[in-house]
Homo-oligomer: A and B are copies of this chain.
Amino acid sequence: MQEDTIEKFMRLAIDLATNNVRNGGGPFGAVVVRNGQIVGTGVNRVTANCDPTAHAEILAIREAAHFLSTHVLTDCVLFTSCEPCPMCLAAIYWAHITTVYFGNSKAQAQHIGFDDSLIYQQLSYPIEKRAVAMHRVCETEALESFLLWSDTEDKTPY
């Protein structure tokens, strides 16, 4: 992608972020592009929509996938006004997006009160060391759905 095209789409993600602050949301915007066309946009609506998962990148990915009628966005590029948090970065991998452009760094996000360093750290810990208490129960019963999945022939793996 050419430099001026990259800057054009990043400028749009930044404008989405700025306008979202004026609209009661967090300072984050994202754009998904495929073959030079915008296929999804998103802004942070966590508090506005009462949805802890409503980060700009998540909403842009969801919109792009819906628009393109596929959960695989391999040929898409994500522009986000800020370096993705672990939730959004994992979503980028699940969506098979391979290129991301970002503006602000996570250190700058931390500086204005959005700190995801704890979450990045927690994800690298083994279960027993995490701040979230995680307990395994019903091991035998839980296998039921996995066995059914393995035995199902007309499934859609991903």
Contacts and interface: CB of A to CB of B under 8 A. Distances in A.
Interface residues on A, range: 35 or more
Given A18-B148, A135-B101, A144-B14, A51 B71 contact: yes
Nearest to A16: B145
Contact of A61 (B52, B65, B99, B148): B52
Contacts of A11: 138, 141
Contacts of A122: 89, 93
Interface in A78-93: 81-83, 85-87, 89-93
Interface of A: 6-7, 10-11, 14, 17-18, 20-22, 24, 26-29, 46-53, 58, 61-62, 65-66, 68-73, 81-83, 85-87, 89-105, 108-109, 112-113, 116, 118-120, 122-124, 131-139, 141-146, 148-150, 152, 155-158
Given A52-B94, A90-B90, A155-B21, A120 B119 contact: no
A148 B108 CA distance: 14
